[in-house]
Amino acid sequence: MKARPVKKLDPERSLGENAARIIRVRLDEMRTLGPRALDGKTKAQHDMRIAAKRLRYVLEATGFSFGKPADTARRRARDLQDLLGEIHDCAVMLPRVRGHLEELQRADAEGVRAKAGDAPDLDPRLAAQAHHRTAYRGLDVYAVYLEARRRLLFDRFEAFWQRQEERGTWSRLERAVDRYLDRARQARRTAKAAERARQRAEAAQRAARTAEAQAERARLHREPASAPNVPQPPS
């Protein structure tokens, strides 16, 4: 599954702010898949496992910025990833087992047919002597096991997801990253306001110095030059 792009990432901003934006996208990516995964859609379950893995990885690297909600969500994302992985393994293995069983049965059918030769009908004793006959039961039982285990794990997945929703695992993480982003935006606004105030103060100082210099030049222009002190001849 292709990961959703994360917008507004900025290398000039803090690790926490960029991580918060990534977490919001990865969390939404995972939760959006919930309804289809709970409906038994195999692809949605597989995609949800990948989304949980991505969320877990970013929380492992940056979760310290968001406190306990991130730590809890990281552990639950790992549990979800493991559980969906087990379901996926059963879903992948089951058709392989059934496919292998069909291959063996086809091979035995061809072999039994060859043994029948030109007989007008098939002797049941030939089928009872099929080459792979002892493998059928084991494969049938294994297929039953995989199907039953897949259903059991799916029931666990339903209960797990419901429990996390009730406990607010994902909602608390979402609120934590939203608070971080709100504080980051407020800090930028405060910094920009302080920078504007500093620039205004510097502009006012420059204007005051300019006015003072102009006043000094005007004063000097208005005052007459003093006469030179010439010595007087003796009387």
pTM for the whole structure = 0.77
Quote the pLDDT of residue 130: 85
Of 193, 182, 171, which is closest to residue 17 (Cα–Cα)? 182
User: What is the model's pLDDT at position 112?
Assistant: 87
- Mean pLDDT estimate for the chain: 91
Of 162, 174, 173, 171, nearest in space to 34 by CA:
162
Domain boundaries, the chain: 15-191
pLDDT, greater one: 121 or 77 = 77
Q: Using 50, 70 and 90 to split pLDDT, how confident is the model at 28? A: very high
Q: What is the pLDDT of residues 60-111, one digit of tens each?
A: 999 999 999 999 999 999 999 999 999 999 999 999 999 999 999 999 888 9
pLDDT band at residue 231 using 50, 70 and 90 as cut-offs: low
